[in-house]
Amino acid sequence: MTTTSSLAIEATGLVKSFDQTRAVDGVDLAVRRGSVYGVLGPNGAGKTTTIRMLATLIRPDAGTARVLGHDIVQEAHAVRALVSLTGQLASVDEDLTGRENLILLGRLLGLGRPAAKARATELLEAFGLAEAAGRLVKQYSGGMRRRLDIAASIVVTPELMFLDEPTTGLDPRSRNQVWDIIRALVAEGTTILLCTQYLEEADQLADGIAVIDDGRVIAEGTPGQLKASVGTGALHVRLLDPGQRTAAEQVLARELGTVTLPADPAALSVSCAEADRGAEAIAVLARSGVRIADFALGQPSLDEVFLALTGHPAEAGPGEPTAAVEEEEVV
């Protein structure tokens, strides 16, 4: 390598606008070599635009970035020779077979014909696609397509991989398969920049996370740090009767402070640092006539982190109705 920097990605002040939309509005990133870095944000936050700049597909309007030591604008070709991209749309050719897709990529990366064929066979077997190798990709399921897409990205092992929402739209089983592949890649030393809307995904895979919203990084840290920054813990309550949620919200707000309302209509969460205050709040809630199905005292989820940071839930786009939360600055 031409550089000894321990950072695989160093981005400063990246900006990209489309017409009036400021898709990316001053993003800084520092990603260590060999790590999985999660870029977490809701739809439209600017994740794909950030990845496309770093993968040299579009030029930033302002700001600079070095990927594996190479400037993404001045040395775009050198960057391309070291990275691979698995785009948000599974970027494989639907009109070709799985095997043909991999041979095509192998040839384009400089493998000779026999080497490209052998490599395709090896990857199809490793990714559980040997049986479907001769079928056209348009007949593949979403999970198979995504696995082929990732296989296409490692026909020649990249030093850094961009993965843009690799499990969006997949069923839980396929999602787990993709997660296992990502873990295997990391175990072999590949650096990964992973964009996702799923908090659980970032929590499961990433060493570091940048939370982005409206084109800006609004928080950065390890999953643990992000959780800690919101509060030391949270009280999660589930009601027997969702109709009592408003009543329960009033009681908990009085006892402990701002309540967040998860998607589950029978659930409430409230940040709560001390266990005995939580126990007291539960007692008050029970006495008020609200029937409780169960409750737990634990770490805040990344969902709550996101809500606390942005004022809107992560899975919904901006502008959705939001539960009342205070804005908290983190990091």
Partner 1 sequence: MSASPTMQGSFTPADEAAVRRAISSTSRPPAPGPLSAALTFGWRGMLKVKHVPEQLLDVTITPVMFVLMFTYLFGGAIAGSTGEYLDYILPGILVMSVLFTTVYSGVALNTDLTKGVVDRFRSLPIWRPAPLLGSLLGDSVRYLISGTVIILLGVVLGYRPDAGVVGVLAALALVVVFAFGLSWVFTTLGLVLRSPNAVMNAGFMGIFPLTFLSNVFVDPETLPSALEAFVRVNPISILATASRGLMEGNAEGGDIAVVLAVAVALTAVFAPMTTRRYRRG
Ligand X SMILES: Nc1ncnc2c1ncn2[C@@H]1O[C@H](COP(=O)(O)OP(=O)(O)O)[C@@H](O)[C@H]1O
Out of 9, 27, 185, 219, point to the residue binding partner 1 (CB under 8 A).
185
Token pair 């040997």 is at which residue? 130
Q: Which stretch binds Mg ion (CB under 5 A): 46-54, 111-119, 143-151, 228-236?
A: 46-54
Distances (CA, A) of 268 to 107, 240, 258, 300, 324: 55, 12, 11, 12, 12
Out of 1, 62, 184, 275, point to the residue binding partner 1 (CB under 8 A).
184
Q: Which is nearer to ligand X, 47 or 245 (CB)?
A: 47
Q: Contact 38/202 with Cβ under 8 angstroms?
A: yes
Decide: is 49 part of the binding site for ligand X (CB under 6 A). Answer: yes
Is 283 exposed, middle or buried (CB count within 10 Å of its CB: 0-12, 13-18, 19+)? Answer: exposed
d(CA 62, CA 187): 35
Write out the binding residues for partner 1, residues 190-219 only, by CB under 8 A: 190
Write out the binding residues for Mg ion, residues 168-187 only, by CB under 5 A: none
For residue 16, the cross-strand partners are 24
Q: Which does 127 bind (CB under 5 to 8 A by kind): Mg ion, ligand X, partner 1, none?
A: partner 1
From start to end of 113-272, where are the E strands? 160-164, 191-196, 208-213, 216-221, 234-239, 259-260, 267-271
Decide: is 46 part of the binding site for ligand X (CB under 6 A). Answer: yes
Q: Which is nearer to ligand X, 61 or 75 (CB)?
A: 61
Local structure of 121: helix, strand or coil: helix
d(CA 120, CA 108): 13
Q: Which does 73 bind (CB under 5 to 8 A by kind): partner 1, ligand X, Mg ion, none?
A: none
For residue 18, the cross-strand partners are 21
Q: Which stretch binds partner 1 (CB under 8 A): 82-90, 286-294, 301-309, 321-329?
A: 82-90
Distances (CA, A) of 229 to 177, 234, 244, 322: 31, 12, 30, 21
Q: Which helix (H) or strand (E) holds 152?
A: helix 142-153
Identity of the amino acid at 270 = V
Q: Which stretch binds Mg ion (CB under 5 A): 2-10, 47-55, 102-110, 311-319?
A: 47-55
Give me the least distance between CB of 50 and partner 1, in Å please. 14
State the residues that interact with Mg ion by CB under 5 A: 47-48, 88
State the residues that interact with partner 1 by CB under 8 A: 52, 55-59, 77, 80-81, 83-85, 87-97, 100, 104-105, 107-112, 115, 119, 122-123, 125-128, 131, 136, 147, 152, 154-157, 172-173, 176-177, 179-181, 183-185, 187-188, 190
